[in-house]
Amino acid sequence: MLFNQLGLAAELLRAVEENGYTKATPIQTKAIPHVLEGHDLLAGAQTGTGKTAGFVLPILHNMRVAPKGARRVRALILTPTRELASQVNESVQTYGKYLPIRSMEIYGGVSARPQITKLKRGVDVVVATPGRLLDHVRQGNIDLSNIEYFILDEADRMLDMGFIRDIRQIIKALPDNRQNLLFSATFSQEIRDLANKLLNNPSEIQVAARNTTADRVEQLVHPVDKARKREMLSEIIGRGNWQQVLVFTRTKHGANRLATQLGKDGIATAAIHGGKGQGARTRALSDFKAGKIRVLVATDIAARGIDIDRLPHVVNFELPFVAEDYVHRIGRTARAGQDGTAISLVCIDEQKLLADIEKLLGRKLEKAVIPGYEVDARIKAEPLRKQGGQRRAGPPRRGKPGGKRPAGAGKKRGNSQRPGKAARNAKRSRPRSA
Ligand code: AMP
């Protein structure tokens, strides 16, 4: 369906068109009319489907006429990570360009001062991670009593990260009369419970089963010895003249090491992971988007919510411990209907991880040996845990679809991206480092 058939205001259509979009994606076609009509919504959609515009556009439409008097926070969008908060806010500003609407992002890991200043000046839309938002609520820096629109984006990830208690606290600060939207890629019982409490007679929509993005990505496995992975990667990037490549490692140390090595090979590279300050992360991402660096090496957690238009290449330098992270990783490419390639450099130690991924995808991945990089049959597999850089596994982020999270996923105050202590101490199934 075309955007101009959805009943959106001219100011929004103009901004959408300037962004290069004329046709709405399936989630947008389904969600926008429900939200415009004022219904609560339970939406099943993964990142990469265009879901952000699916809620931002109709909300901005409904908010376009401001009530008289001082500016008040009328819409609250909660996201699990800072990166996603930033990106959603960017969408609000892009699509709301021709409307007199002010928005801001709120997250931890940076000084609260500038956030307080902005709040004092007055904003209409706040995009926030739960922890820092709650700090502002408790300190009286933000008044949520005028919220008309409340959106939980990537609700499943928020629960996985142990934010449920914060979310409940935030809901308590909201007025009863409001429109609620819940977006989630998966629907565990926990999400259903949250939806039942939060949503009022919601419309339910669902697009694209969880692995469809993965199916659109051209995927290839290159068997290689571990010690030769970096050399192989440099060669692939150089030979293909790849200009924008997102590379995944399992750990932040691995990310740093690889970024340094690729830099030595003459490939402009930056690393992005939880050990870096917010400033460095934002800078690396914007340099990557702007084409100033060719390669961004990321860990799984740091890469959540990274949204790069037309990202052509994703490389799994190391396979993830959790098979579902593979789907998330390669979902960074081939977004919103575009094509992309994802290659995985797989050494003998990672055969089990590869088997897990193939099981999840329900098919074998194509393998291609690159001449000159044939694996050395004398090298025996070693258990991954014994190798450097991997530490204790971290909190499980995403169970099987419909699966339950371990109990006690509480949350430590003050850093909106860190999972709760209980979650961190819970029996771990994936690397903690990111
Ligand atoms: P999201 O699922 O919201 O993270 O969006 C994924 C990507 O799709 C983003 O890069 C958007 O800019 C892009 N996008 C959103 N709407 C459309 C559309 N109607 N057509 C093409 N791309 C879109």
Q: pLDDT tens-digit profile of 9-66?
A: 999 999 999 988 899 988 999 999 999 999 999 999 877 788 999 999 999 999 998 8
Residue nearest ligand 1's atom 12 by CA: 309
Lowest model confidence (mean pLDDT) among 51-65, 92-106, 199-213, 360-374: 199-213
Q: Scanning the structure block, which residue is given the tokens 């009863």?
A: 176
* Contacts for 35 with CB less than 8 Å, ≥ 6 apart: 41, 54, 55, 58, 59, 62, 179, 181
Using CB atoms within 10 Å of the CB of residue 361, give its burial: 0 to 12 exposed, 13 to 18 middle, 19+ buried: middle
Is the pLDDT at 303 greater than 90? The verdict is no
Q: ∠286-79-102 over CA atoms, to 5°?
A: 70
Decide: 394 and 430 in contact? Cβ < 8 Å. Answer: yes
Strand order in the sheet with 125-128: 103-106, 125-128, 75-78, 149-152, 179-184, 41-44, 203-206
The whole-number pLDDT of residue 275 equals 82
Q: How far apart are CA 378 and CA 310, in angstroms?
A: 41
**Of 13, 28, 52, best ligand 1 pocket probe by most atoms within 8 Å of the beta carbon:** 52
Question: Model confidence over 56-94: pLDDT tens digits?
Answer: 999 999 999 888 888 999 999 999 999 899 999 999 999
Give the phi and the psi of residue 2 in degrees, each rounded to 5: -80, 150
The whole-number pLDDT of residue 406 equals 36
Q: How far apart are CA 306 and CA 290, in angstroms?
A: 14
- The number of helix segments (H) and strand segments (E) in the chain equals 17, 15
Q: Does any ligand 1 atom lie closer than 6 A to the CB of residue 336? A: yes
Q: Does any ligand 1 atom lie closer than 6 A to the CB of residue 340? A: no
- Going by pLDDT thresholds of 50, 70 and 90, the confidence category of residue 429 is very low
Question: Model confidence over 124-168: pLDDT tens digits?
Answer: 999 999 999 999 999 999 999 999 999 999 999 899 888 999 999
Region of 50 on the Ramachandran plot (φ > 0 left; ψ -120 to 50 alpha; else beta): left
The whole-number pLDDT of residue 408 equals 37
Q: Tell me the CA–centroid distance for residue 16 and ligand 1, in Å.
A: 11
Query: Could you tell me the CA-to-CA distances from 425 to 50, 249, 415 in Å, in that order?
Result: 35, 23, 17
Question: Model confidence over 253-295: pLDDT tens digits?
Answer: 999 999 999 999 999 999 998 788 888 888 898 899 899 999 9
Q: How far apart are CA 314 and CA 344, in angstroms?
A: 9
- Going by pLDDT thresholds of 50, 70 and 90, the confidence category of residue 213 is low
The whole-number pLDDT of residue 432 equals 35
Average of per-residue pLDDT values in the chain: 85
Q: How far apart are CA 168 and CA 68, in angstroms?
A: 30
Decide: 390 and 384 in contact? Cβ < 8 Å. Answer: yes
Residue nearest ligand 1's atom 1 by CA: 50
The whole-number pLDDT of residue 410 equals 37
Q: Tell me the CA–centroid distance for residue 36 and ligand 1, in Å.
A: 19
Tokens of 390: 């991997």
Query: What sections of 362-430 are H helices per DSSP?
Result: 421-425
Residue 134, H or E segment = helix 130-138
- Strand 340-346 vs strand 217-223: parallel, antiparallel, or unpaired? parallel
User: Among 119, 131, 174, 122, which Cα is nearest to 151's?
Assistant: 174
Is the pLDDT at 219 greater than 50? The verdict is yes
**Of 5, 18, 21, 95, best ligand 1 pocket probe by most atoms within 8 Å of the beta carbon:** 21
The whole-number pLDDT of residue 338 equals 59
Rounded to the nearest angstrom, the gap between the alpha carbon of residue 264 and the centroid of all alpha carbons in its chain is: 30
Global pTM reads 0.60
DSSP letter, residue 204? E
The whole-number pLDDT of residue 3 equals 95
Packed helices 51-63 and 26-36: angle between N→C axes, nearest 10 degrees: 30
Q: What is residue 133's three-state secondary structure?
A: helix
Q: Tell me the CA–centroid distance for residue 420 and ligand 1, in Å.
A: 31
Averaged pLDDT, 370-389: 78
Decide: 147 and 74 in contact? Cβ < 8 Å. Answer: yes
